[in-house]
Each structure stands twice: as structure tokens, then as C-alpha cells.
Amino acid sequence: MANLAASIRSGDRRALARAITLIESTRPDHRADAEALLEALLPYTGNSVRLGISGVPGVGKSTFIEAFGLHLIDRGHRMAILAVDPSSKRSGGSILGDKTRMAELSRRSEAYIRPSPAGTTLGGVARRTREAMHVCEAAGFDVIVVETVGVGQSETAVADMVDMFVLLLLPGGGDELQGIKRGIVELADLVVVNKADGDLAAQASRTASDYAHAVRLLRPASAEWQVEVLRCSALEGKGIPEIWDAVGRYRDKLGAVGEIAKRRGEQARAWMWGEIGETLLAALKRHPGVRSQIADLERDVIAGRIPPAKAARRMIETFLSGPN
């Protein structure tokens, strides 16, 4: 693992890919290696701007990330793009699996694009993405973008692993018309109305001023930052530099009062507890005594014969009573 860590730090892309594959593996021996690797890399992590980017399918996320990434590369940055898409399976359907997305960016050595890991639970996908983020930082990527689809719980998971959460919107309509789930606008540190071009330009202006009004009514997540609403055209590359400037303002303001470091500390703590929850649950489900109870107890709970809390307690008692 020390060798692999050294190769990653020297910028070896195959080593980086191998490390992320190792992290995503569920085999216990792989997990032990992955933890050793992450520990070796830990001193070299944290030196990036961590951005979450979300929006409903079709809003232009991949077009935006491509334009944004190329702009940042021009300015000397290196960008890694990860995804959190719990619906994706190894066989396909992942939001970054499609090779035609971000075609130009994917050819650049200053960019690294990694699709969402396969996983049955959002928690499982999110924890591996966090670890992949650290590996990318150790590999020298100074901007990490975590992309997710704007359709549910994955937004919260992503907001909990980044410094700044950016929500992309379409011109026209409020949250419901745009298919945005409740609470997602509240997570945003920056709102961007995309497709502000051609026939859609006027509509994009109206949408931006509607949202600028709406976000002023929300309780700000930080006293240092009032959520900004910007417009861009990812297709024409307009408004992209202004978005990077807004990221800079955000980091300056929050960084000056130590809020980014504080947020990261809290995220690490929550991650630790999440890790405990996931690991314990997996161990409980593997326990032979518990396994032999699950089907019956689930049936009884579904039929209303046993209160759910009592069924849960019974399984936990079996688990805590010892190895069998």
C-alpha cells in the first residue's frame, strides 16, 4: 500500500484508478488494504475545493461540468469528477458511465472522471465517494466535483461531503415544475440557472430573479454567506468564469472565519458515525442467529402481529448475545 500511495502521489493515473477500485470493493481483505492506503494518504488530503453539483436530468450538468472543467484547466487547475448515483449498477445506467458525456474533458490529463460506484445503499455509495475524493486530492487534483442527480436523498449525502453545494436549474417554473424535490433548494450555497441563451435567455432572467427572491427568504446556512443566484449558458460557455469567481468569494468569506475547516470537521465526525452504523448493520445482517430470524420477523411485522420496535429489539438481542 505504501508503494501504491507513492504512485498515486506521483500522478500515476493507473494507480489512481486501481486505488479507487480497491476502495469500492466489498471484500474484507480489500477493505483492510483500502483503509491502510487511506491512512497513508491522509496527510496529503484536504487541499482541494470540494464542490457538489446537482440538478435534474437534462438541466445540463455534464455540459456545465465540461465547460467549467475546461475553464479551470485553462487557469492551471486540475479537476476530478466523481458521482453519487445510487440507482447506478455496474451494468450501466450510471450518470457518468456514458462515455459520450464530457468528451473533451475526459481526454484531458488535468481531469479525472470516475462514475458512481455500484452499491445497494446510498450510504454505501456515499462513503466510497468520500474516500475516492481523498485519493484524488492526494493525487494532486485541487478541484473535486461530486455530481448527483437532483431527484432525492443523494443531494443531502453530497452536501454532507463538500464545501459548497451548487444547484443547477432550468429556465422557467418553480421547484415543482422543474421536478426538484423538497428541501433541495435549501441545501444550495449557489444557484445557477443554466441555458441562459437564445430563446431561453429572457425566461432564465425571470427564473433567476424569482429564485434570488426565494433564497433571501430562507434561513442562511452561514452568517457569512448569502446564497447567490447566477445565470450561465454551459453550451456557449457564458457565465462560467463568474461561477468560479463566486466559488472564490464563498471560500474567502467562509475560509476567513474558519467555517470551511469547521464544516469539514463536522462532516468527518458524521462520517465516522455513519461508518459505524453501516458496519454494524452489515454485521447484524450477517449474524447466523439473526439471519434465521429475519424472514419470520419481517412477515410478522408486515402482518401486524408484532410491533416493529419489538421485532427490532429481538434481532438486536440475538446479535448482542454472542457469535451464534
Q: How many other C-beta atoms are found inside a 10 Å radius of the C-beta of residue 136?
A: 26
Does position 195 interact with ligand GDP (CB under 6 A)? The reply is: yes
Among 111, 78, 83, 112, residue whose Cα is nearest residue 97: 83
Q: Which residue is nearest to ligand GDP (CB)?
A: 60
Taking CB under 6 A as the criterion, the residue among 62, 88, 129, 178 binding ligand GDP is: 62
How far out from the chain centre does Cα 169 lie? 18
Does position 88 interact with ligand GDP (CB under 6 A)? The reply is: no
Nearer to ligand GDP, 154 or 233 (CB): 233
Taking CB under 6 A as the criterion, the residue among 52, 55, 119, 171 binding ligand GDP is: 55
CA of 286: how far to CAs of 64, 157, 172, 282, 291, in Å?
43, 26, 49, 6, 7
Does position 58 interact with ligand GDP (CB under 6 A)? The reply is: yes
- Please say whether the beta carbons of 4 and 37 come within 8 A: yes
Does position 61 interact with ligand GDP (CB under 6 A)? The reply is: yes
Does position 231 interact with ligand GDP (CB under 6 A)? The reply is: no
Q: Give the whole-angstrom CA distance, residue 143 versus residue 164.
A: 12
Taking CB under 6 A as the criterion, the residue among 118, 214, 235, 294 binding ligand GDP is: 235
Does position 28 interact with ligand GDP (CB under 6 A)? The reply is: no
**Cell, residue 278:** 453501516
Nearer to ligand GDP, 233 or 267 (CB): 233
Count residues near ligand GDP (CB under 6 A). Answer: 14
Phi, psi at 321, each rounded to 5°: -75, -10
Return the range that interacts with ligand GDP (CB under 6 A); candidates 40-48, 78-86, 125-133, 229-237. Answer: 229-237
Which residue has 457565465 as its cell numbers?
A: 239
Does position 194 interact with ligand GDP (CB under 6 A)? The reply is: yes
Q: Give the whole-angstrom CA distance, residue 31 versus residue 24.
A: 8
Nearer to ligand GDP, 64 or 112 (CB): 64
Build a one-symbol-per-residue string for 63-82: x at contacts with ligand GDP by CB under 6 A, - elsewhere: x-------------------
Return the range that interacts with ligand GDP (CB under 6 A); candidates 18-26, 43-51, 133-141, 194-202. Answer: 194-202
- Please say whether the beta carbons of 196 and 60 come within 8 A: no
3-state secondary structure of 293: helix
In whole angstroms, the minimum distance from the beta carbon of 147 to ligand GDP comes to: 8
Q: Give the whole-angstrom CA distance, residue 250 versus residue 166.
A: 12
Q: Give the whole-angstrom CA distance, residue 71 versus residue 242.
A: 11
Q: Which residues bind ligand GDP (CB under 6 A)?
A: 55, 57-63, 194-195, 197, 233-235
